[in-house]
Amino acid sequence: MSTVSENPTIIAPSSASHDAAGRARSYEVRTYGCQMNVHDSERLSGSLEAAGYIKADGVEPDVVVINTCAVRENADNKLYGNLGYLAGVKRRHAGMQIAVGGCLAQKDKNVILEKAPWVDVVFGTHNMGALPSLLERARHNDEAQIEILEALETFPSTLPTKRDSSYSGWVSISVGCNNTCTFCIVPALRGKEKDRRPGEVLSEIQSLVDDGALEVTLLGQNVNSYGVEFGDRLAFGKLLRAAGAIEGLERIRFTSPHPAAFTDDVIDAMAETPSVMPQLHMPLQSGSDRVLKAMRRSYRSAKFLGILERVRERMPHAAISTDIIVGFPGETEEDFQETLRVVEEARFATAFTFQYSIRPGTPAATMEEQVPKEVVQERYERLIALQDRISWEENEKVVGRTVQVLVGNHAGKKDADTNRLSGRAEDSRLVHFEVPAGSETPRPGDVVTVTVTQAAPFFLIADSVDDAPLVIRRTRSGDAWDRQEAESCGVPSGAADGGQGAPGPVLLGFPTLRAGGASTVPIYNTDDELR
């Protein structure tokens, strides 16, 4: 079993959370990168609120925390661009503090302070809970604080959390990675894989359900290799089945598995557990066996396609998404054609496609035959065009199908103009559905039954054909959303916010904490312009 502590991490109130007049200082957490980062940001928010800070809703924050990604070169550029802008803001905002954490902070360490000396705190992936004390120390000493640990001391799930979603949450089942993919720097930044005990994972899921959640997403760098640390290669399938037995949990998702470790017992568990959703994110990276070998991806295209075939045999309507890298060093046109072939055969519902960029510290960074930028761009555009066509064709197959949509917190860009709301179907496809005149309006966390009337490459539309009221199932999650809205308009008992309005509830420590995350979305943050 893991030796990492699962005892709740208590964050003490901080003297730095209030100014000299006793006003609670406000914070904002900005997140770059994957859903592991999103989940980490919820813990950062929870830790700050436990220390006495309040969320900066609509006002310029007193504390800006940037939770960084280190996967792509543009992550560096975006971080330092943002820090350059914040330097000017800080000059006119008395007492403002800036903190940088996450994967890029773990990698760059003191480089951040050399490039941006106005930053107050730099912390890594292994000590997120130290943020409040580091802010306090920086304020007291009037000098920047940097603390980068080289090994994980406590799972993030032991930290307080601030969860915006009433209906959905993230649950980390492992951290770190044992693979050695030549393009990836994540193992160097997050360490070797550490697995949580099954009972601890299930207790956290239960706490989410008790708090009103209908859906959880299990997280790990290679989620299906769960159990390697305690010697049970079938542990992940067992965990899916056990989670499926939790009363009130309606939707289980997970991300991201590794094709090399994806076994038939997991497929069986998915197919035989009703609450495991018919959705799978399976990273391909390349369709060329030669490139996969150079990437140290321990599978080949035939095995990858075989997995998809077996998944669809058991779950015919499963929506499968993927990751693909274009322009890996040495990739030829013939290699790229192999990727196009596999993509055509795989019929992905969606694909997250990346142009390869050099990451210092990875084996691929020093490989010969780096592909010229203009060649990578041209191949990238061809791949995008192919996948957009396939996504549209696959979505058109759903037209006429009745789907159960879990209503989301955030509307689509045109929902207000079209009198629509948005949510995710069982297979995680985004659905914009009409609310007919006179119909009751569902709450975030409620479930609506709609029929898909139109398809686009990236979403589905379900408009009413007879103006009948929506078929709505009111849920515990919708009730929890009502409670959150009520609390946001008043002051909960015991709150001390310096007259600035009440923050949402933050519960301290696993397993009684409000763990998890925002609504289920694609594995990567599609709004951060990093992908």
Confidence (pLDDT) at 489: 64
What are the phi and psi torsion angles at 41 (to 5°)? -65, -30
Handedness of CA 64, 65, 69, 70 (dihedral sign): positive
- Residue 406: is its pLDDT beyond 90? yes
Residue 322 in contact with residue 346, Cβ under 8 Å? yes
Query: Exposed (0-12), middle (13-18) or buried (19+): which is 80, by Cβ within 10 Å?
Result: middle
Average pLDDT of 112-119? Answer: 93
Average pLDDT of 265-287? Answer: 97
Which band of pLDDT confidence, cut at 50, 70 and 90, is reported for residue 530?
Answer: very low
Confidence (pLDDT) at 12: 80
- Residue 336: is its pLDDT beyond 80? yes
Mean pLDDT, all residues of the chain: 86
Q: Are strands 319-326 and 215-219 parallel, antiparallel or unpaired?
A: unpaired
Residue 17 in contact with residue 53, Cβ under 8 Å? yes
Query: Would you tell me how many other CB atoms lie within 10 Å of the CB of residue 5?
Result: 12
Q: Flag whether 489 is marked binding.
A: no
- Residue 311: is its pLDDT beyond 80? yes
| Alpha-helix runs per DSSP H in 235-332 | 235-244, 264-272, 289-295, 301-314
**DSSP one-letter code for 380:** H
The DSSP element (H or E) to which 134 belongs, if any, is helix 131-141
Give bridge partners of residue 326 from the DSSP assignment: 355
Confidence (pLDDT) at 39: 75
3-state secondary structure 85-133: HHHHHHHHCCCCEEEEEEHHHHHHCCHHHHHCCCCCEEECCCCHHHHHH
Question: Which two structure tokens, joined as six digits, stand for 528?
Answer: 């951060």
Question: Which two structure tokens, joined as six digits, stand for 368?
Answer: 């010969």
HSE, CB side, 13 Å, CA atoms: give it for residue 424.
Answer: 23
Report the phi/psi class of residue 41: left, alpha or beta, with left for phi > 0 and alpha for psi in -120 to 50.
Answer: alpha
Model confidence over 133-180: pLDDT tens digits? 999 999 989 999 998 887 666 666 666 666 678 899 889 898 888 888
Q: Which residues are CB-neighbours of 144 under 8 A, at least 6 positions away?
A: 113, 117, 119, 120, 121, 122, 138
In the chain, % of residues over pLDDT 70? 85
Confidence (pLDDT) at 64: 95
Which band of pLDDT confidence, cut at 50, 70 and 90, is reported for residue 458?
Answer: very high
Model confidence over 350-401: pLDDT tens digits? 999 999 988 878 899 999 999 999 999 999 999 999 999 999 999 999 999 9
Q: Which of 104, 88, 106 minimizes the C-alpha distance to 96?
A: 88
Q: Which of 50, 49, 81, 51 minimizes the C-alpha distance to 66?
A: 81
Rounded Cα distance, 308 and 269, in Å = 15
Confidence (pLDDT) at 503: 39
Least confident of 215-224, 303-312, 338-347: 215-224
Residue 128 in contact with residue 190, Cβ under 8 Å? no
Question: Which two structure tokens, joined as six digits, stand for 320?
Answer: 């499968």
Confidence (pLDDT) at 159: 62
Residue 348 in contact with residue 322, Cβ under 8 Å? yes
**DSSP one-letter code for 333:** H
Question: Which two structure tokens, joined as six digits, stand for 159?
Answer: 């930290």
Q: Which of 146, 241, 162, 262 minimizes the C-alpha distance to 198?
A: 241
Rounded Cα distance, 424 and 350, in Å = 14
Question: Which two structure tokens, joined as six digits, stand for 375?
Answer: 């060649």
Question: Which two structure tokens, joined as six digits, stand for 433?
Answer: 């559905």
Question: Which two structure tokens, joined as six digits, stand for 429?
Answer: 């496809």
CA angle 270/353/428 to nearest 5° reads: 35
Q: Flag whether 184 is marked binding.
A: yes
HSE, CB side, 13 Å, CA atoms: give it for residue 284.
Answer: 35
Helix (H, G, I), strand (E, B) or coil at 143: coil
Beta strands in 339-466 (DSSP E): 350-355, 402-407, 420-424, 430-434, 447-451, 454-455, 460-462
Confidence (pLDDT) at 163: 67
Question: Which two structure tokens, joined as six digits, stand for 340?
Answer: 């196009």
Query: Exposed (0-12), middle (13-18) or buried (19+): which is 94, by Cβ within 10 Å?
Result: exposed
Query: Would you tell me how many other CB atoms lie within 10 Å of the CB of residue 56?
Result: 17
Residue 161 in contact with residue 207, Cβ under 8 Å? no
The single-letter code of the amino acid at 422 is S
Confidence (pLDDT) at 522: 39
How many residues are given for the chain? Answer: 531
The DSSP element (H or E) to which 471 belongs, if any, is strand 471-473
Model confidence over 296-305: pLDDT tens digits? 999 999 999 9
Q: What is the CA radius of gyration of the chain?
A: 23
pTM of the model: 0.78
